Amino acid sequence: MKVFNLLCQGASKSSIAECEALVYEFMDHGSLEEWLHPVIGTEEISDAPKNLTLLQRVDIAIGVACVLDYLHNHCGTPIVHCDLKPSNVLLNNELVGHVSDFGLARVVPQMTSNSSSNQTSSIGIREYGMGSEVSTYGDVYSFGILLLEMLGKRPTDEMFRGGRTFVQMSIPERVTEVADSVLLRVGNDDASISNLPNQYSSRAQKISECFSLIFRIGV
């Protein structure tokens, strides 16, 4: 929240200008966080829990990737969001993802041509966790974590105590072990794709391949 002292000269005009610049389009479906990790017992989740299909999650992930591509490569001077996470991805009425909250965003100089091309995702950890210089690699690292969370579990889940290694070791044969159980159900029952009858084995294989491809990107 920002407070203006209306006794100061120009405060009213400044307030109106900020409102015009900062007011976002209303997002009917709230944040991605609310869909991935619904809080049971709230009024919003009374009878119909929020669930996103695999296709919807992939579409949202592609939308976020397009936003990052624009910020990093197509808007003149690169912009680093610095706080990419499910609560900062808002969904409109058609469940199209919009990246929000640029309060920590930073404008960074263009990367030089002699910059190292084999940087690893550990750069993202150093930038956000140890105060090193901000670069687009930090957003790329956060996007990878976002992908793992969108199709799997929270990064703080016990399963990931050892870091991304567990996910990496699960590709491709055991991806269903790290995937969100909601995405593994068939229809409205509790049958898992790993227990499908033979006539559905082809579908199960395609779903597993999709998980493997996306988890590889996340890792």
Q: Is residue 19 part of a domain?
A: no
CATH number for the domain including 35?
A: 1.10.510.10
The reply to whether 94 and 182 lie within a common domain is no
- Reduced to 3 states (helix: H, G, I; strand: E, B; else coil), residue 55 is helix
pLDDT band at residue 219, thresholds of 50, 70 and 90?
Answer: confident
Burial (CB < 10 A; 0-12, 13-18, 19+), residue 210, is middle
Domain end call among 151, 171, 198: 151
Cis peptide before 38 (omega within 30 of 0): no
Residue pLDDT, tens place only, 154-189: 777 776 666 667 788 888 788 888 888 788 775 544
Domain end call among 124, 151, 178: 151
Q: Supply the range of the domain harboring residue 97.
A: 28-151
Residue pLDDT, tens place only, 8-37: 777 677 666 666 556 667 788 899 999 998
The reply to whether 90 and 160 lie within a common domain is no
Active-site hit among 28, 59, 69, 83: 83
The reply to whether 95 and 184 lie within a common domain is no
User: How many other C-beta atoms can be found within 10 angstroms of the C-beta atom of residue 180?
Assistant: 18
Separation of alpha carbons 208 and 211, rounded Å: 5
The reply to whether 57 and 134 lie within a common domain is yes
Q: Is residue 195 part of a domain?
A: yes
Separation of alpha carbons 200 and 82, rounded Å: 42
The reply to whether 160 and 144 lie within a common domain is no
83 is catalytic: yes
Residue pLDDT, tens place only, 67-87: 999 999 998 889 999 999 999
The reply to whether 173 and 147 lie within a common domain is no
The reply to whether 35 and 90 lie within a common domain is yes
Q: Is residue 23 part of a domain?
A: no
